[in-house]
Amino acid sequence: MPKLPKAFKKRIPPPPRQPGTHTNAEVKEALHARALRRTIVVSALVVLLFASLGVVSSIAQDYTDEEDTTSSPKMLIITATNLSPAALSKTVSSNKAPFTRLLSTLGGIHGTVKRMAQQGDATLAKLLSGDATATSINIEKTFISAINSGEKKHTSVVVVPKRVEEETTLRGSDGTVETCESPNDLLRYQISQVLAKSLDKDLIYVQLDGLNLKSVETIEVSMRVRSEMNMLDNAIGQIGLLLSQRTKTVKENWYIMLVGQGENAATSIPFFGAVYTRGELVRLRPLSAEASQADVYGTVLRWFGVNEDTYKDKSLGICSNGINVVNCPK
């Protein structure tokens, strides 16, 4: 029987060696192979990230005013108990929050507004009611009820983590409160589901309690804050993609608002806002030095056309109501 050429002979790998007996060349080759595999994986992830940002950028162009801008006003408000101004500012100014940073660059806004209460002094009650003297939440005096009491009734849904369901007095326009498993699960998996099943509502109010979004004092805390801010940024990216696509085909104007409750700041609370219409971002105006926590209430009412003249000069970001959206001047 003729012998096979050397190239066709089956290569039998050598038996495994004991630890410490490998040559430098073998170790170098193994490390090179592992580095090559990791490089391929990292490169693929980077390509996917830039592809996602490209999609957002392509649909997040400066909105151009046209003759007919009348649409239904819609709003998504996310309040985060532990979100501090420092955490939001440092994250958006870094590369850890690409979606939030991109939306801020292309028309959205982020910054701080004055808080109305001492630390721990019914901060959420004051934010929801716009009343600096409020000491507890009265659902009848919140913007959730106010938008449903005018000539046009605006419906709402309230979403909270299960652990605070029994503690909250907030209810949607149908008298119920929706629950999510936890803030982390909401940000990772459930935000699109919450939006998808609540798109028939005018106002979606989401309360995030339990996230670690405080100041970045130690390396351990800093890493945890960055991780959860990254989850929050991913959720904002999902929301932006969903609403940009929806507003291309449905005549709706969506205001996305992220606001801290004021638990971790002495004088101010963090604020982020972006408005979508016809698949594009509307240009918002910068936050003024006099903007305060109370203006969240006025902004919601003006957006829905309720007592608009009263809150015309006390609204955050917007230069019109949510029915006839316009760009703010450059």
Q: What is the pLDDT of residues 304-320, one digit of tens each?
A: 999 888 888 889 999 99
Strongest mean pLDDT among 68-82, 155-169, 285-299:
285-299
User: Which pLDDT band, with edges at 50, 70 and 90, does 235 fall under?
Assistant: confident
pLDDT at position 59 over 50: no
Mean pLDDT of 11-21: 59
Q: Domains in the chain, ordered, with CATH?
A: 60-311 (3.40.720.10)
Whole-number pLDDT of residue 58: 47
Contact 279, 250 (CB under 8 A): no
Whole-number pLDDT of residue 310: 86
pLDDT at position 97 over 70: yes
- Give which of 225, 219, 220 is closest to 89, Cα–Cα: 225
Q: What share of the chain in percent tops pLDDT 90?
A: 28
Mean pLDDT of 108-122: 77
Whole-number pLDDT of residue 230: 81
* Cα–Cα distance, 220 to 21 (Å, whole number): 38
Whole-number pLDDT of residue 41: 56
Strongest mean pLDDT among 51-65, 68-82, 149-163, 311-325:
311-325
Contact 318, 284 (CB under 8 A): yes
pLDDT at position 143 over 80: yes
Give the distance, in angstroms, between the CA of residue 139 and the centroid of all CA atoms in the same chain.
25
DSSP letter (8 states) at residue 306: S
139 Cβ contact partners less than 8 Å away, ≥ 6 residues apart: 145, 169, 170, 171
User: Which pLDDT band, with edges at 50, 70 and 90, does 18 fall under?
Assistant: low
Whole-number pLDDT of residue 24: 62
DSSP letter (8 states) at residue 17: P
Q: b/e per residue, 198-224, with b = 16+ CB within 10 A?
A: beebbbbbbbbbebebbbbeeeeeeeb
In 3-state terms, what secondary structure has residue 180? strand
User: Which pLDDT band, with edges at 50, 70 and 90, does 34 fall under?
Assistant: low
Whole-number pLDDT of residue 117: 63
pLDDT at position 122 over 80: no
pTM assigned to the model: 0.77
177 Cβ contact partners less than 8 Å away, ≥ 6 residues apart: 158, 159, 160, 165, 168, 170, 171
Q: Around Cβ 137, how many Cβ atoms within 10 Å? A: 17
pLDDT at position 203 over 70: yes
Whole-number pLDDT of residue 234: 84
Which tokens is 249 given? 């085909």
210: left (phi over 0), alpha (psi -120 to 50) or beta: left
pLDDT at position 60 over 50: no
DSSP letter (8 states) at residue 329: P
* Cα–Cα distance, 205 to 194 (Å, whole number): 11
Mean pLDDT of 109-129: 79
